[in-house]
């Protein structure tokens, strides 16, 4: 796993194991998937044969880490008890499927604390996540060479959105890390539109100082590499093809060459406007990483 890991979010139509074929076809050596529909509360269990084939293909093509993105409906800090309880159940299912599939990482958006104070939302999020994973034996996923983590993702900074500030991500991780394998996923679009400068050379340095003083470099296991349609500080989460948005190619080149993240995987969640867009964005990232 010493080589730079660059990949893309891919579909799983025809079976979860087909994600590996799609990643390889796109020129990727890492990938992200949804383990089930991202907009439905309930999901079927993983078929053991599918999981075995996924692992077999990953080994054959040296594809990893495998990243799973949790359901978009999950809001672990909702003020509404029914939503929160559904979120706890759904997130437990996400963890169980991630472990069954042999994934290294499961990415979670913390949710919205609207109707609560920030501190109340943070407390509820931590409590909900801990309840969701109660009784799960993570040690089974931590065999030699295995590195399973729940990843808290920063958000675009919309009002009441937990994780719009790096400090909030760090605080949630701090509340969880004593009991859970937890780390961080940072999204370039979210960083940019929430008001952190990664475009200018000086701004990148200052932003990375904040990353170091909050979540820490080692905790960042995955970068979601997305250019942005909207302006810095706009709080609008609209992804764009690499090099074609308000972030621009040079910022991605700087990030990909940053030795502080040599351990991280870089996964595009860019638009698929036409066939071949996954491969095109992976190719741009690979070119920037090489040059």
CB 239 within 8 A of CB 255: no
CB 6 within 8 A of CB 282: yes
Radius of gyration of the chain (CA): 18
Main-chain phi, psi angles of 288, to 5 degrees: -65, -35
Per-residue pLDDT of the chain (291 residues; tens, 9 = 90+): 458 999 999 999 999 999 999 999 999 999 999 999 998 999 999 999 999 999 999 999 999 999 999 999 999 999 999 999 999 999 999 999 999 999 999 999 999 999 999 999 999 999 999 999 999 988 776 656 667 999 999 999 999 999 999 999 999 999 999 989 999 999 999 999 999 999 999 999 999 999 999 999 999 999 999 999 999 999 999 999 999 999 999 999 999 999 999 999 999 999 999 999 999 999 999 999 998
Rounded Cα distance, 21 and 27, in Å: 10
DSSP 216: -
Give me the residues paired with residue 182 across strands. 150
**For helices 18-25 and 48-61, angle between their N-to-C axes, nearest 10 degrees:** 30
Rounded Cα distance, 119 and 115, in Å: 12
Q: Is 27 left (phi over 0), alpha (psi -120 to 50) or beta?
A: left
In the chain, count of helices (H) and strands (E)?
Answer: 9, 10
DSSP 104: S
Residues sharing a CB contact under 8 Å with residue 283, sequence separation 6 or more, in sequence order: 27
The CATH superfamily of 5-290 is Divalent-metal-dependent TIM barrel enzymes (3.20.20.150)
């Amino acid at each position: 796993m010493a080589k730079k890991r660059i990949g893309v979010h891919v579909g799983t139509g025809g079976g979860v194991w087909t994600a590996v074929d799609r990643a390889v076809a796109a020129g990727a050596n890492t990938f992200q998937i949804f383990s089930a529909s991202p907009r439905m509360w309930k999901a079927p269990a993983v078929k053991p044969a599918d999981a075995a084939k996924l692992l077999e293909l990953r080994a054959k093509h040296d594809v990893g880490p495998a990243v799973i993105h949790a359901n978009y409906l999950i809001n672990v800090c909702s003020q509404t008890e029914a939503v929160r309880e559904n979120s706890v159940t759904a997130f437990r299912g996400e963890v169980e499927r991630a472990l069954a599939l042999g994934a290294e990482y499961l990415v979670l958006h913390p949710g919205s604390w609207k109707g609560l104070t920030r501190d109340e939302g943070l407390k509820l999020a931590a409590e909900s996540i801990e309840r969701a994973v109660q009784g799960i034996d993570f040690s089974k996923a931590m065999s030699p060479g295995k590195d399973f983590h729940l990843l808290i993702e920063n958000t675009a900074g919309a009002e009441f959105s937990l994780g719009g500030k790096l400090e909030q991500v760090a605080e949630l991780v701090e509340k969880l890390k004593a009991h859970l394998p937890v780390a961080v996923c940072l999204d370039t679009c979210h960083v940019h539109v929430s008001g952190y400068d990664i475009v200018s050379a000086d701004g990148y340095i200052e932003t990375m100082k904040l990353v170091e003083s909050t979540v820490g470099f080692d905790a960042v296991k995955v970068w979601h590499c997305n250019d942005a349609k909207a302006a810095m500080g706009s709080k609008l989460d609209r992804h764009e093809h690499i090099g074609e948005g308000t972030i621009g190619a040079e910022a991605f080149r700087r990030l990909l060459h940053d030795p502080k993240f040599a351990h991280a995987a870089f996964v595009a969640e860019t638009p698929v406007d036409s066939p071949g867009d996954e491969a095109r964005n992976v190719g741009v990232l690979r070119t920037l990483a090489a040059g």
